[in-house]
Chains A and B, each alone.
Chain A
Amino acid sequence: MSVVTLTINDRQITARAGETVLDAARETGIPIPTLCHLDGVTEAAACRMCLVKIEGRGRLQASCVTSALEGMVVHTETEAIREYRRMILELLFAEGNHVCSVCVANEHCELQSLAADHGMDHVRYEYMNPKRPVDVTHERFALDHNRCILCSRCIRTCDEIEGAHTWDFAGRGSHARIIADMGQPWGEAESCTSCGKCVQSCPTGALFRKGSTVAEMTKDRERLAELMVARKEKKWSV
Chain B
Amino acid sequence: MERLKLATVWLGGCSGCHMSFLDLDEWLFELSEMADLVYSPIADVKDFPHGVDVTLVEGAIANEENLGMAKTVRQRSRVVVSFGDCAVTGNVTAMRNPHGLGLEVLRTVYLVPEPGTQPHIPDDREIVPALLDQVIPLHNVIPVDHFLPGCPPSASRIRDFLKQLLSGTAPNRSAVQIRFG
Contact = CB atoms under 8 A, between A and B. Distances in A.
B88 interface: yes
Given A101-B151, A112-B179, A115-B180, A127 B97 contact: yes
A99 B82 contact: no
- Determine chain A's interface SS by DSSP, over half rule: loop
Contact of B178 (A101, A121, A126, A132): A121
B91 A121 contact: no
Interface stretch (B21-29, B115-123, B133-141, B162-170): B133-141
A87 to B, nearest CB: 16
A119 interface: yes
A122 B149 contact: yes
A119 B98 contact: no
B181 A103 contact: yes
A100 B178 contact: no
A101 B180 contact: yes
Interface residues of B, number: 29
Interface string A88-124: 0000010001011111001100001101110111110
B98 A121 contact: no
Given A122-B89, A123-B89, A101 B181 contact: yes
Contacts of A103: 181
Contact of B97 (A106, A112, A129, A215): A129
Given A97-B98, A132-B98, A112 B178 contact: no
Interface in B122-181: 134, 136-137, 139-140, 144, 147-149, 151, 173, 175-176, 178-181
Interface of B: 82, 85, 88-92, 94-95, 97-99, 134, 136-137, 139-140, 144, 147-149, 151, 173, 175-176, 178-181
5 contacts: A113-B175, A113-B179, A116-B175, A119-B178, A122-B139
